[in-house]
Amino acid sequence: MSTKQNTPDAAVPHGSKPNGLPTNRLSWFLDRLILLIGKAASWLWIAVLVVVLANVFSRFVMEEGSIALEELSWHLFGIAMMLTLSFAVARDDHVRVDVLHEKFSLRTQAMIDLLGIVLLALPVLYLMLDSMISYAYTAYIYDERSQAPSGLPHRFIFKGFLALGIALVLIALSSRALRCCTLLFGFPRPLTPPRDDRDSDHPKPE
């Protein structure tokens, strides 16, 4: 194994920005999981498009509106959104409202991210996840369905995906917190993956 892996700078994935956060073995596998789920979930947008077009055709051409199709489009949109939120977090492509963040050094950015994730994001997400699990379980126990006569049944499925989406964001943020720790404290030990996290294939770590 190369001695370059002993320094955080050597752990920056090939092809990423020179000042990118280093990765480590645990965060690498967590990011792989999130990216795989996100890429798979991205196909749901095609399903959303198909359902919306079918609903439009049914309503304006056949003049037979379908409540079930309309609700299905809402649910598929919500599921696709929840399952791809963590993908944006893992790739750091989400919108930052802090315009000063990019002006700081990498270590300062990492410290701000670590404090924000540990003190604010993770506790809030944990509370949200706990509520969403109870929310979905209650819907399952009472076999909740749409209030519309021809609406969709089994609403616990959609509510379960809400909980899953929150859990995936929690995992993605935990991975980023670990990467911040690798840069700031050298623990977990940095790792150099062969390819960048944004590549389409999924390489194995050294």
String of DSSP letters for 107-139: HHHHHHHHHHIIIIIHHHHHHHHHHHHHHHHHH
Measuring CA to CA, which residue among 4, 42, 8 is closest to residue 200? 42
Does a structural domain hold residue 190? no
* Cβ atoms of 5 and 192 closer than 8 Å: yes
Q: pLDDT value at position 5?
A: 42
The C-alpha atoms of residue 21 and residue 109 are separated, in whole angstroms, by 10
Does a structural domain hold residue 109? yes
* Cβ atoms of 12 and 18 closer than 8 Å: yes
The C-alpha atoms of residue 41 and residue 129 are separated, in whole angstroms, by 20
Does a structural domain hold residue 193? no
Name the band, by pLDDT with cuts 50, 70 and 90, for residue 194: low
Q: pLDDT tens digit string along 39-74?
A: 999 999 999 999 999 988 888 888 787 888 899 999
Does a structural domain hold residue 204? no
The C-alpha atoms of residue 77 and residue 72 are separated, in whole angstroms, by 8
* Cβ atoms of 10 and 190 closer than 8 Å: yes
Number of residues that make up the chain: 206
Does a structural domain hold residue 116? yes
pTM score: 0.80
The C-alpha atoms of residue 124 and residue 139 are separated, in whole angstroms, by 23
**Domain span holding position 30:** 23-94+103-185
Of the given ranges (20-24, 47-51, 158-162), which has the lowest mean pLDDT? 20-24
Number of structural domains found in the chain: 1
The C-alpha atoms of residue 21 and residue 111 are separated, in whole angstroms, by 11
Does a structural domain hold residue 2? no
**Other CB atoms within 10 Å distance of the CB of residue 63:** 7
Q: Kind and range of the H or E element at 24?
A: strand 23-24
What is the rounded average pLDDT for all residues in the chain? 84
Does a structural domain hold residue 135? yes
196 or 21: whose pLDDT is higher? 21
Q: pLDDT value at position 101?
A: 78
Distances (CA, A) of 97 to 71, 90, 94, 100, 133: 32, 17, 10, 9, 29
pLDDT of 198 strictly over 80: no
Of the given ranges (44-48, 93-97, 187-191, 198-202), which has the lowest mean pLDDT? 198-202
What is the widest separation between alpha-carbon atoms in the chain? Answer: 69
Does a structural domain hold residue 7? no
Name the band, by pLDDT with cuts 50, 70 and 90, for residue 9: very low
Dihedral pair phi/psi, residue 158, rounded to 5°: -65, -45
Name the band, by pLDDT with cuts 50, 70 and 90, for residue 192: confident
Section 74-85 average pLDDT: 93
Distances (CA, A) of 116 to 22, 47, 97, 200: 18, 35, 13, 30
